[in-house]
């Protein structure tokens, strides 16, 4: 039976790094997905007071990072929508296209445990299966949390046992600002883009929003 359905992997991706890619591939395999959509956020609801790189730069880095995998694609669905990037709205928009098939929302254990705080969590789990990856420093994710929160309506979920690559985008930005190499932490094409565009240079102010 051929893979089917679409994985939805959202985030700021400032910058996208190797742990993101490894998680997406593990989710694609475990969920038997035909493709994984990387969805850069316009404005994350929990990070509205944090300065991030421009949408154009973050989308460009995602496109460079996934170029070698035909099962990966980038989506502008949140970048083209005004206001905060609510996952429920994104899933609803994607579900309107029959070509997406069944949706699977890809989460780290950190974001999974925050799910009850998101806007319309019941709508989220009605629209998508969950694929949850472990993250060091956070409790192991499991079905008990879903049963406690959603009861009989607990959604279908897959809980991955890896990968456990500890790479932080904020640490990468700090390294880049200090002039340190990002080699082996981000794809080479992303490292080159960051260098060519001086993305995290301390005095760069022109296109950060």
- Tell me whether residue 22 is in a domain: yes
CATH number of the domain at 170, please. 3.40.50.620
* Predicted local distance difference test score (pLDDT) of residue 109: 87
- Tell me whether residue 209 is in a domain: no
- Tell me whether residue 201 is in a domain: no
Return the exposure string of 76-105: e unless at least 16 CB atoms fall within 10 Å of the residue's CB, then b.
Answer: ebbbeeeebbbbbbbbbebbeeeebebbbb
- The arithmetic mean of pLDDT across residues 71-76, rounded, is 98
- Tell me whether residue 138 is in a domain: yes
- The arithmetic mean of pLDDT across residues 175-199, rounded, is 96
Q: What percent of the chain has pLDDT over 90?
A: 65
- Look at the chain and report how many structural domains it folds into: 1
Claim: this prediction has a pTM higher than 0.75 = yes
Tens digit of each residue's pLDDT (9 = 90 or more) over 6-48: 999 999 999 999 999 999 999 999 999 999 999 999 876 655 5
- The arithmetic mean of pLDDT across residues 55-72, rounded, is 97
13 SS3 class: coil
* Predicted local distance difference test score (pLDDT) of residue 202: 79
- Tell me whether residue 152 is in a domain: yes
- The arithmetic mean of pLDDT across residues 182-206, rounded, is 89
pLDDT category of residue 206 using cuts at 50, 70 and 90: very low
79 SS3 class: coil
* Predicted local distance difference test score (pLDDT) of residue 205: 46
- Tell me whether residue 102 is in a domain: yes
Domain of 73? 6-196
- Tell me whether residue 204 is in a domain: no
Average pLDDT, the chain: 89
- Tell me whether residue 203 is in a domain: no
- The arithmetic mean of pLDDT across residues 171-183, rounded, is 95
* Residue 23 DSSP code: H
């Amino acid at each position: 039976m051929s893979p089917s359905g679409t994985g939805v992997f959202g985030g700021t991706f400032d910058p996208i790094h190797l742990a993101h890619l490894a998680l997406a591939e593990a989710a694609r395999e475990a969920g038997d997905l035909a493709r994984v959509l990387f969805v850069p956020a316009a404005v994350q609801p929990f990070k509205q007071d944090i300065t991030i790189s421009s949408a154009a730069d973050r989308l460009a880095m995602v496109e460079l990072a996934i170029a070698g995998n035909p099962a990966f694609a980038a989506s502008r669905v949140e970048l083209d929508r005004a206001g905060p990037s609510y996952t429920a709205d994104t899933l609803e928009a994607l579900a309107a296209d029959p070509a997406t098939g069944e949706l699977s929302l890809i989460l780290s254990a950190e974001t999974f445990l925050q799910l009850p705080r998101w806007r319309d969590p019941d709508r989220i789990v009605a629209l998508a299966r969950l694929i949850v990856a472990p993250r060091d420093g956070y409790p192991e994710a499991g079905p008990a949390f879903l049963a406690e929160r959603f009861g009989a309506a607990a959604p279908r979920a897959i809980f991955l046992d890896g990968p456990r690559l500890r790479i932080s985008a904020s640490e990468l930005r700090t390294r880049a600002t200090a002039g340190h190499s990002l080699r082996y932490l981000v794809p080479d094409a992303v490292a080159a883009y960051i260098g060519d565009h001086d993305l995290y240079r301390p005095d760069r102010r022109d296109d950060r929003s």
